[in-house]
Structure 1
Amino acid sequence: MAGCGNADKWEEAKDSGWNFFQVPSIRLSGGIMVLWKSDLATFRVFESSSQFIIGEIDVQNKVSWRIATIYGSTDVYKRRKLWEKLQLYSTKDKVLIIGGDLNCLPNKDDKRGGKIFVYSLGTKEMDYFLVSNDLHEVMGTGPKYTWCNNKTGADKILERLDRCYLNSVVLSSPHRLVVRKLARVSSDHCPIILNMLNYNVALKKTIKCEDVWISNPASIAVVKKAWSRKSMGDFSQILNYKL
């Protein structure tokens, strides 16, 4: 997600092999842009508004994912339209990625400074949307808070507004995904990157547990070793990996 800049620069980017779709900014606020390498992928836009760009990306005819890039409204009633639109495009047949500035906090641990966190109507509606569509946040590395009001002392406010969610279809995918939160430079937000980890699972014959193995004390050590492997992601991803 990015604010829309100089049109000539984006035309230059297009000429250099990049393509893009944008929702223009209004004065100094808003604006969403999706960019993709034309020789690597195609992106088909389903629908867009000031709060989202929803589409489907096909990467070299190998991966087809549905992606929603978000810039949620700070107004709870306008943000309700965002959940309604995302609901229409929710899918259980392929990987669904929802990421960006949701402008809504799920719990008090995502905020430091300012007014006391309240489990408001906006938070309830967001929670209901995530649960009903089987969406799970992708955990990652980097700063805990992704937004700052750029003030100091007692007036400083930090919040984790920028997030990335995936549906459970990713569990059956061979890809492992992790979010990296980068440092703030010229913005009040931290950029977030969803990385696809490069790893190849060696093809192995199917291992079926024989009852006789259990009688061997060494089998306990094998299970412990597998269970102690370090892995990243939400609880369901980690469990699937260990199993």
Structure 2
Amino acid sequence: MICWNPQRVSISNIILDSQWITCDVESKQRGDYARVTFVYGHNSPTERIALWSYLSHQQTVNGPCPWMVTGDFNAIMHPSDRNGGDNSWANYMDDFPNCIAKAELMQIKGSGMRFTWHNGRQGDASILKKLDWAFGNHHLLAKWPLAQATFQARVASDHSPMVINLGPRPPRQGARFKFLNHWTKHEGFDRAVQLAWGVRVQGNPINRLTAKLRLLKGYLNNLHKAHRMACIVYVMKMARRLPALRIWAY
């Protein structure tokens, strides 16, 4: 069962099976889009073969888009993902990690409960396992590098609730600083260099050099804006004198 707030997201079903539901999720507020596969793995290793086969072959289908796979896989990735019970590692237990590798999925950073399932018994009969997982492909983690899955304390279920927060998208980086040769001909260039290099900076020689270069960058940007504004004012004055002439300000 999947429930959602229709005022915040729209969901389109892609494929429905007894062990998975794949759908497209789009935010109505920001327009962000991702494909999500919700998993509920069967108890039987034989029945889970269909799940591993589906996920393994979806890499070619969902590879070009942000894709998240999450839910109760009813399987562990490593022997350390369990505490108590039988410690043997059967051959079928390789199917899950092999599937994730073939699907080119990466685990979303997690926090909270280490083991997400408990058999409800105490003492020597107690068994803890990590059966609930959250994965994303390259495109999803590149779009939301701060994504995190939080596994909360168990309440009524024998599984831990899982909350996935994709987090804010990384801020758009501004244009890289470029030195323009014609700045050296601008009035005030020498003064800007003198002001930047005249600031007293503490630290080793490399730190002092980089700090003064950063200061100089600010002075040169201000110098560029001042000359650019002067050019715009000049063009506006010329435009008033020659109203029939079309002039573009850069």
Q: TM-score, normalised on structure 2?
A: 0.66
Structure 1 SS opposite 2:3: strand
CA drift at 1:175: 5.2
Moved over 4 A (4+): 219-222
Aligned match of 1:7:
none
CA distance in 2, matches of 1:96, 1:133: 11
CA distance in 2, matches of 1:50, 1:166: 21
CA distance in 2, matches of 1:122, 1:82: 13
In the alignment, is the contact (CA less than 8 A) between 1:111 and 1:117 conserved in 2?
A: no
When residues 117 and 105 of structure 1 are mapped into structure 2, their CA distance, relative to the original with a 3 A threshold, is farther
When residues 81 and 200 of structure 1 are mapped into structure 2, their CA distance, relative to the original with a 3 A threshold, is closer
In the alignment, is the contact (CA less than 8 A) between 2:152 and 2:160 conserved in 1?
A: yes
1:115 aligns with 2:86: yes
CA drift at 1:104: 0.8
Report the AA paired with residue 33 of structure 2.
S
Aligned match of 1:68:
37
CA drift at 1:219: 9.1
Higher helix proportion: 2
Number of equivalent positions: 183
1:47 aligns with 2:15: yes
1:159 aligns with 2:148: no
Q: What is the CA deviation profile of residues 121-154 of structure 1, one whole-angstrom value per residue up to 9, with x for unaligned ones?
A: 3322222221112101112111110000010000
Aligned match of 2:153:
183
Identity of aligned residues (%): 22
Q: What is the CA deviation profile of residues 110-131 of structure 1, one whole-angstrom value per residue up to 9, with x for unaligned ones?
A: 000011141x333222222211
When residues 38 and 220 of structure 1 are mapped into structure 2, their CA distance, relative to the original with a 3 A threshold, is farther
CA distance in 2, matches of 1:147, 1:220: 55
CA distance in 1, matches of 2:109, 2:9: 26
Report the AA paired with residue 75 of structure 2.
C
Aligned match of 1:30:
none
CA distance in 1, matches of 2:209, 2:147: 30
CA distance in 1, matches of 2:209, 2:20: 50
Q: What is the CA deviation profile of residues 14-52 of structure 1, one whole-angstrom value per residue up to 9, with x for unaligned ones?
A: xxxxxxxxxxxxxxxxxxx11121122211111212211
Aligned match of 1:17:
none
CA distance in 2, matches of 1:220, 1:154: 64
Q: What is the CA deviation profile of residues 80-110 of structure 1, one whole-angstrom value per residue up to 9, with x for unaligned ones?
A: 1112223444311111111111011111110
When residues 219 and 56 of structure 1 are mapped into structure 2, their CA distance, relative to the original with a 3 A threshold, is farther
Structure 1 SS opposite 2:2: strand
CA drift at 1:221: 9.3
CA drift at 1:196: 2.0
Structure 2 SS opposite 1:184: coil
Higher strand proportion: 1
Uncovered stretches (5+) of structure 1, i.e. residues with no partner: 1-32, 209-215, 223-243
Structure 1 SS opposite 2:166: strand
Structure 2 SS opposite 1:38: coil
When residues 176 and 155 of structure 1 are mapped into structure 2, their CA distance, relative to the original with a 3 A threshold, is same
CA drift at 1:207: 5.5
Uncovered stretches (5+) of structure 2, i.e. residues with no partner: 179-204, 212-250
Aligned match of 2:95:
125
In the alignment, is the contact (CA less than 8 A) between 1:76 and 1:121 conserved in 2?
A: no
CA drift at 1:203: 3.9
Larger Rg: 2
CA distance in 1, matches of 2:208, 2:49: 53
Aligned match of 1:218:
207
The Cα RMSD (Å) is: 2.5
CA distance in 1, matches of 2:210, 2:122: 53
Q: TM-score, normalised on structure 1?
A: 0.68
In the alignment, is the contact (CA less than 8 A) between 2:24 and 2:36 conserved in 1?
A: yes
